[in-house]
Homo-oligomer: A and B are copies of this chain.
Amino acid sequence: MHVESLRVTYRLDVEPAAAAARAEEVAREQTVEVPRSVVRDAFVEHHVLGRVEQLVPGPDGSSLATIAFPVAATALDPAQLLNVLFGMTSLHADATCVDAEFPESLRAALQGPRFGLEGLRKLLGVHERALTCTAVKPLGQSPQALAQLLKSFARAGIDVIKDDQGLADHPFCPFEARVRACLDAARQVADETGHHAVYVPHLSGTPDAVDRQLGIAEACGARAVMASPMLIGLPGFWELCRRRAALPVFAHPTLGGAQRFAHDLLFGSLFRLFGADAVIFVGYSGRFDIPREVCRSLAARLRRPWGTVLPALPVPGGGIQLENAAEIVSFYGNDVMLLAGGSLQLEEGAVEQRSRAFVAAVRDASARNFESKNS
């Protein structure tokens, strides 16, 4: 009888001689969580218990153990999936969850993005070139001040202007007032210039607060929203994407570091599987210093064919400057959205001018990508 498997790879920082026994422990810890001798039931053994499939040497003397978990152990549920992936083993300092293969039944259950990369391109009306994004910030400004800033970005032709992830429902900048002011500002610039930038409000708080904010955003005419899966919880993020929002959802990476989940697994595979249409991540360029090969893998995971799960839009950020925008477009190709942050605001009074230069750099680099692809 065929039992579909969720395959998970762990890096185990133990002596090579101890790795096989440690891998067996992980296979139990993530499922039955009892000593082997307590597993006396054939159903438990075949349909629940993890099985060590492979053990190979990893970097720095570690071992890479691949464990096949019967997919039934996950109950095809967003929270229980996380539990099987890394629940109790996360509490062991010697283990890192570095990769996973999600079988078709799990992908069909979680479904992934509803709009994805192509849906976002349609929304923006931009089909070839790389896309641009920035954020209204800093936290502490009034809705009116943020709306003014948004106008400069929109006039410069930036595609997407999102809330900073630090903007919650603060008394000095309430969610509803901010969303109204920013959407109005985007509409005014559209009337003026014909370019209707997509403003993306950040939904944050408890499940009830996120629902309430989504209702306000939709009622006010927002065309996309953002949430931070690691703040609100991945299962709540999934419900937002697949059961609540009628709009595309951007995922923000805040609090997503330091999980001993590999970056490309967490942001590239899990965020997509849980329904993000666009995934913001911190890239190799700038203050986070993520290795290029991790960024390449992360972007590839977001865009690769994956059964019925739509591709999601990679949105690198975390230190994009005017000076490196062109190189970043050449690195990721045109199916990317560049998120520039504070660097657009570095010169007082020159926000629109710097934003125009950013937009132009991305357009030019996209055209070069396009030419080299077609030459």
Indicate whether A153 reaches chain B with its CB closer than 8 angstroms: no
**A232 lies within 8 A of B33 (CB):** no
With A31-B139, A41-B141, A137-B32 already in contact, the answer to whether A253 and B91 are too (CB < 8 A) is yes
Minimal beta-carbon separation of A46 from chain B (angstroms)? 9
A206 to B243, CA, bound (A): 10
* Contact among B49, B80, B256 for A204, CB-based, below 8 A: B80
**A interface, size bucket:** 35 or more
Interface stretch of the complex, out of A81-89, A177-185, A330-338: A81-89
A182 to B165, CA, bound (A): 44
Chain B residues whose C-beta falls within 8 Å of the C-beta of A257 in the assembled complex: 89-93, 260
**A31 lies within 8 A of B166 (CB):** yes
Closest Cβ neighbor of A80 among chain B residues = B168
Which residues, 198 to 246 on A, are CB-close (under 8 Å) to B?
Answer: 204-209, 228, 231-236, 238-239, 243
Which residues, 136 to 172 on A, are CB-close (under 8 Å) to B?
Answer: 137-141, 145, 164-166, 168-172
**A32 lies within 8 A of B140 (CB):** yes
Interface stretch of the complex, out of A57-65, A125-133, A340-348, A363-371: A340-348
Chain B residues whose C-beta falls within 8 Å of the C-beta of A43 in the assembled complex: 140, 172
Indicate whether A79 reaches chain B with its CB closer than 8 angstroms: yes
**B172 lies within 8 A of A138 (CB):** no
Minimal beta-carbon separation of A6 from chain B (angstroms)? 14
* Contact among B73, B169, B172 for A139, CB-based, below 8 A: B73
**B79 lies within 8 A of A139 (CB):** no
Chain B residues whose C-beta falls within 8 Å of the C-beta of A255 in the assembled complex: 82-83, 86-87, 90
Chain B residues whose C-beta falls within 8 Å of the C-beta of A121 in the assembled complex: none
A82 to B93, CA, bound (A): 22
A/B interface sample: 14 pairs, CB < 8 A: A25-B287, A34-B345, A38-B138, A40-B348, A77-B204, A77-B205, A80-B166, A90-B257, A91-B253, A91-B288, A206-B236, A207-B236, A208-B239, A258-B260
Mark A residues whose CB is within 8 Å of B: 25, 31-35, 37-41, 43-44, 47-49, 72-73, 75, 77-80, 82-84, 86-93, 96, 137-141, 145, 164-166, 168-172, 204-209, 228, 231-236, 238-239, 243, 253-260, 282, 287-288, 318, 341-343, 345-346, 348
